[in-house]
Structure 1
Amino acid sequence: MAVQVSTKWLGDMRFESTNPSGHDLFIDAGEENGGKGEGYRPKALMLSGLAGCSGLDVASLIKKMKLDVDDFTIDIDANLTEEHPKYYDKVSMNFHFYGDNLNEKKLQKTVDLSIDKYCGVMEMFRRFADVEVNIFFNE
């Protein structure tokens, strides 16, 4: 399955990128790197992609399993190497589930299925980073 993304330079350090969903996003460097901070940073966007990929899996599984979850968030902390090319070598992915009637065993299963079977972005990250996944239940 081919995927196409088109990214256009808008001048300075700013770009506009389209994707198959038809939505555009802007990419820009921070002021410390000659940009104006008017868009996403590429490496941080990778972490958002990881959280979004797994989050979509988990949300779908919560619905299929008819689990009672009020809310959930995914926080990611990542370590960027010091030398060029800089990349993430360690990633900590933290799932936080909120609700009064959380089924911890089934929620653990939703995360496990995502990170071990469904999330292709996770598989890509595993090729270059040590990825740790933690789950927190907040009732």
Structure 2
Amino acid sequence: MSTTNHISTKWLGNMSFESNNPSGHSFRIDIAKEDGGDGSGLRPKALMLSSLAGCSGLDVAAMFKKMKLEVNEFHIETIANLTDEHPKFYDKVVIEYHFHGENLNEKKLQRAVDLSIEKYCGVMEMFRQFAELNIKTVFHKK
């Protein structure tokens, strides 16, 4: 049986919208003032990158517990190239997984990243349909 997500997005005036989420939370979408918006919300294309990092990050964080990994800090940097012609889309995306800690198990952390990007992260799979992905894992030992 398939799952359906239903999102409702309401125009608030000018270039601003409010969109809900199955979590019960909602957020505002807007564009920059120089583009005719009020700059009061999140940009749609950038939200896609947050979704990508968030989806994969949740997978990796869940594996911290399962694999008994010690990580002091974890962040994901997502850098995307936007095409010049309309409709503009991301054609190349770099995803950097940064792990900080004194006792980093690099082999297991890399396995956690690999499992997310190869098996679990559905948003990653969606991005593969239109962008070239470059994955990097960086270990910062304190």
Q: TM-score, normalised by structure 2?
A: 0.97
Q: Secondary structure at the match of 2:130?
A: coil
Q: Secondary structure at the match of 2:13?
A: coil
Task: Determine the C-alpha separation between the residues in 1 that align with 2:94 and 2:35.
Answer: 26
Equivalence map 1:58-97=2 (5 Å): 58-97=60-99
Identify the match of residue 121 of structure 2 among 104, 119, 123: 119
Task: Determine the C-alpha separation between the residues in 2 that align with 1:63 and 1:36.
Answer: 42
Q: Secondary structure at the match of 1:68?
A: coil
Number of aligned positions between the proteins: 139
In the alignment, structure 1 residue 130 sits paired with structure 2 residue 132: yes
RMSD over equivalenced CA pairs, Å = 0.4
Partner of residue 30, structure 2: 28
Identify the match of residue 108 of structure 2 among 90, 95, 106: 106
Percent identity, aligned pairs only, is 64
Q: TM-score, normalised by structure 1?
A: 0.99
Using the TM superposition, name which of 99-108 and 60-69 deviates more. Answer: 60-69
User: Any runs of at least 4 consecutive aligned residues in structure 1 with deviations exceeding 3 A, and if so which?
Assistant: none
Task: Determine the C-alpha separation between the residues in 1 that align with 2:21 and 2:9.
Answer: 9
Task: Determine the C-alpha separation between the residues in 1 that align with 2:14 and 2:49.
Answer: 24
Task: Determine the C-alpha separation between the residues in 2 that align with 1:6 and 1:65.
Answer: 38
Cα deviation for residue 32 of structure 1 reads: 1.6
Task: Determine the C-alpha separation between the residues in 2 that align with 1:32 and 1:105.
Answer: 46
